[in-house]
Amino acid sequence: ASFAKVLPVDSESRFPLIERVKARTEAPVFLAQAQWDTVNEFLSIAKSYAQADVNGGSTSLSFLLYGPPGTGKSRLARHIAKELGLDLYVARLDGLISSFLGSTSKNIRALFDFAAKTPCVLFLDEFDAIAKLRGDSQELGELKRVVNSFIQNLDTLGSQSIVIAATNHHELLDSAVWRRFSYRLALDFPSAELREKMWEQFISPLQFTAREIELLADLSEGFSGSDIYEVCVRLHRRRITTQQSLELKEAFQVLQNLGIGEGENRRFLSGLRGKDEHTIASMLRDRNTKLYSHSALADILGVSKATAHRWAQGVENDD
| Domain count for the chain | 2
**Do residue 303 and residue 156 come from a single domain?**
no
**Do residue 167 and residue 61 come from a single domain?**
yes
Domain finish residue from 161, 186, 211? 186
Domain finish residue from 135, 161, 186? 186
Tens digit of pLDDT at every position of the chain (319 positions) = 344 578 888 777 778 888 999 877 777 889 999 999 999 999 999 988 766 655 455 568 899 999 998 899 999 999 999 999 999 999 877 777 766 667 888 888 889 999 999 999 999 998 888 766 555 555 566 677 788 888 888 888 888 899 999 999 888 887 888 888 999 999 999 999 999 999 999 998 778 899 999 999 999 999 999 999 999 999 999 888 887 778 899 999 999 888 665 666 678 888 888 889 989 999 999 999 999 999 999 999 999 999 999 988 876 554 4
**Do residue 86 and residue 157 come from a single domain?**
yes
**Do residue 228 and residue 252 come from a single domain?**
yes
What is this structure's pTM? 0.85
Domain finish residue from 186, 205, 221? 186
**Do residue 205 and residue 180 come from a single domain?**
no
d(CA 248, CA 199): 13
Query: Burial of 24 by CB count in 10 Å (0-12 exposed, 13-18 middle, 19+ buried)?
Result: exposed
**Do residue 244 and residue 300 come from a single domain?**
yes
**Do residue 73 and residue 93 come from a single domain?**
yes
Residue 95 lies in a domain: yes
Residue 5 lies in a domain: no
Identify the domain containing residue 254 by its residue range: 192-312
**Do residue 244 and residue 180 come from a single domain?**
no
**Do residue 148 and residue 204 come from a single domain?**
no
**Do residue 158 and residue 91 come from a single domain?**
yes
Count the Cβ atoms, other than its own, within 10 Å of residue 289.
Answer: 10
**Do residue 36 and residue 177 come from a single domain?**
yes
Residue 12 lies in a domain: no
Residue 3 lies in a domain: no
Residue 205 lies in a domain: yes
d(CA 149, CA 126): 18
φ and ψ at residue 236, rounded to 5 degrees: -60, -45
